Amino acid sequence: MSEKLICKVDLHVHSQYSEIEGGILKKITHSESYTPPQEVYKIAKKRGMNFVTITDHNSIRGALEIAHHDDVFISEEVTVTFPEDKCEIHVVTLNINEYHHQNISKLRHNIYDLVDYLNSNQIAHFVAHPFSSVNGKLRKEHWEKMLLLFDVFEVRNGVQREKDNLLLEKILKGLTAEKIHQLIDKYKIYPLSQTPWKKSMVGGSDDHGGLYIGKTYTVGRGPGLADFLESIRRGETKAEGKSGTFHTVGHSIYATGYKFYKYRLKKRKLFKFIDKFVTDEIKGKILEKAFFKNGSKLSSIMPKGFLISFFIKKFSKKMPFLYTLRTMGKINKNLPLYAALSPYLFGLAYQNKDRNLTWEVKKYYLDQPDPLKIAIFTDILERKDSLPHHFEFDQTLFEREKIKIISCNRKIKSSNVGIKIFRSVADFPFPIFPDIHLYIPPLLEILSYCEKEDFALIHVLTPGPMGLAGIMVSKLLKIPLIGTYYIDFSKHIQKLITSENFKNLVWKYLGWYYSQMHKIIVTSEKYLQELKEKNISPTKLKFLPCEGIDQYICESSSYQFLKDLLHQENFFKLREIYKEIYV
């Protein structure tokens, strides 16, 4: 491709006219973006785009507002429906006019009719973020139908994860005539293209907040727009630029919120002052600095009573209840900052919501399922006088198996490659066993780590803070969750708790906790019966008869239990359960 003829275009950008089709968000705001069209144009040109377009959801108002520029063409991101089951996907239509838009709006509720219309009118179009479900109904069969219906796919989306973008590109490049003919026989859908296994690939930022316009784009032929669009049809384009992370989503939510208040409050002078001296890139860096420190280092933004704080600090070591108050004070004073992390938690959930689909497609089309990589979550429940200075396990186990032990502590450091210890946000005595401390983990840090490591299974050993963190990781990252029941809770609850109400509360919590598991590993026949009596479904229970690990009690070392569980003979049985659940 001649360097003189290269054209760069961000083919997926939103403005303040991007519609919200329903849900809670529509009651709060009317748009998914608050970036003015002229600002989209200005930023795109500044970042080297040869042509500019706006692809608002089911609207061309934003593109029309800048259509007077010679280097602008009108586009739209259309919500399209498979009529057989109402699954929705997004299709971007390029270089359309108002007449096209009206017809597209009428036909978009039937994907087959819309595709026929686009092809018969020679309207360039592509599937946006093919691995990202719009309404939660996207399955492998829809993906396969898309392969027959469309010739152009967005393989680099500025919001989707790098691994998902690369997976999509690899699968499309590996398509064969044989595979396409198999799909034709299966679905009776007949592609118009003579070579439907050869797909054209494009990219776009999918920007909503104005931060990432022009940072992901498509490179095609030029110098004219007709040349560029023809290169898309011929499969001569390249997708370049950045993929997304959960930071991308979080930053975009904050940027959209900033523009929303700027739009609603209309305090132009204040916002103009901020925008003049603080660029979008700097705003993103400020968010990074503000929110991505270890929780224990977060500074309080809430005032605290000096005398009360001094009293609690002075006597807390002698009075465990006061120590708990002191710890809860640490948590409470940072709650506003923890709440501020919610857009990033949403980003993690959004980017992993279709993990099952990508796993299934990868396994079928590349015959490469994700490796069986296990994260074992455990609270450190040792007594102070028995707390080890570091964890010691058989090093060959971690070298041979893809296992990582994840825990949380205030001081412990581990040099073992198979162990990850996070520094706790706070700690306090366990109410029933005052000598044992519970450590509150830095949730976002753990989530970020688990996403990066790409674990296939989460195994939680204890129903404390780390167990809850494991549940959160499983829910947000869509990773199967396994629990272990190895402590005779009934015996110790009866012995230590006299209040019937408190006993019932404890059992309600344990019942909820174990109900979150996809499978529960139980170490004795007695415990199997105990869980069945607590209305835990028998189909969830997996019996693991291991010698020496069915006599643990609450005061016992969770560290010692973990060592016994990972003993060579026991781990062999455990790994068979892992494989069965994974498959």
> Letter for the amino acid at 425?
V
Is position 318 within any domain? no
List of residues 6+ apart from 499 with CB closer than 8 A: none
Residues in the chain where the model's pLDDT stays below 50: 1-3, 23-28, 277, 294-325, 383-387, 389, 550, 552-556
Is the same domain home to 90 and 234?
yes
Residues 375 and 502 in one domain: yes
52 DSSP 8-state letter: B
- pLDDT, residue 525, reads 80
Give yes or no: residues 374 and 248 share one domain.
no
Instruction: Kindly provide the residue ranges of all beta strands, DSSP E only, lying in 297-418, ordered along the sequence.
Output: 374-377, 403-409
Q: The CATH number of the domain where 126 resides is what? A: 3.20.20.140
**According to the model, what pLDDT value does residue 65 have?**
97
Its domain, for residue 20, covers 3-252
Q: Select from 417, 415, 427, 422 the least CA-distant residue to 381.
A: 427
Q: How many domains does the chain have?
A: 2
343 domain-assigned: no
Q: Which string of b and e fits 112-128 if b means at least 16 CB within 10 Å?
A: eebbebbbeeebbbbbb
Locate tokens 């020496």: which residue? 548
Residue 375 lies in a domain: yes
Tell which residue, 362, 436, 373, 368, has the closest CA to residue 402.
373
Same domain, 376 and 246: no
* CA pair distance 142, 129, nearest whole angstrom: 13
Q: Where among 252, 268, 296 does a domain terminate?
A: 252
Q: Does 165 reside within a domain?
A: yes
Q: What local confidence, expressed as pLDDT, does residue 266 receive? A: 58
On whether the CB atoms of residues 200 and 237 are closer than 8 A, the answer is: yes
Are the C-beta atoms of 358 and 385 separated by less than 8 Å? no
Domain CATH number, residue 420: 3.40.50
In tens, the pLDDT along 443-484 reads 888 999 999 999 999 999 888 899 999 999 999 999 999 998
Domain boundary, last residue among 252, 271, 300:
252
Residues 99-148 pLDDT 10s: 999 999 999 999 999 999 999 999 999 999 999 999 999 999 999 999 99
Distance from C-alpha of 310 to C-alpha of 171, rounded to nearest angstrom = 62
The predicted pLDDT at position 191 comes to: 94
CA distances from 484 to 50, 98, 101, 527, 540 (A): 58, 60, 56, 10, 11
Q: Is 137 domain-assigned?
A: yes
User: Which residue shows structure tokens 């590109």?
Assistant: 169
- pLDDT score at 276: 54
Show which of 235, 252, 269 is a domain's final residue: 252
Would you state the torsion angle of the CA atoms of residues 8, 11, 13, 18, taken in this order, to the nearest 10 degrees? Answer: 150
Largest CA distance in the chain: 82
Whether residue 91 contacts residue 80, with contact meaning beta carbons closer than 8 Å, is answered with yes
**Would 289 be classed as within a structural domain?**
no
- What SS3 state is found at 22? coil
Q: Residue 173 domain-assigned? A: yes
Residue 322 within any structural domain of the chain: no
Cβ atoms of residues 139 and 333 within 8 Å: no
**Cα-to-chain-centroid distance, residue 414:** 28
The closest of 81, 99, 101 to 90, measured between CA atoms, is 81
Give residues with Cβ within 8 angstroms of 57, minimum separation 6.
14, 18, 19, 20, 21, 32, 77, 79, 90
> Cα 74 vs. chain centroid, distance in angstroms?
32
Cα distances (angstroms) measured from residue 156 to each of 17, 128, 167, 454, 483: 24, 9, 10, 20, 37
Is the backbone of residue 548 left (phi > 0), alpha (psi -120 to 50) or beta?
left
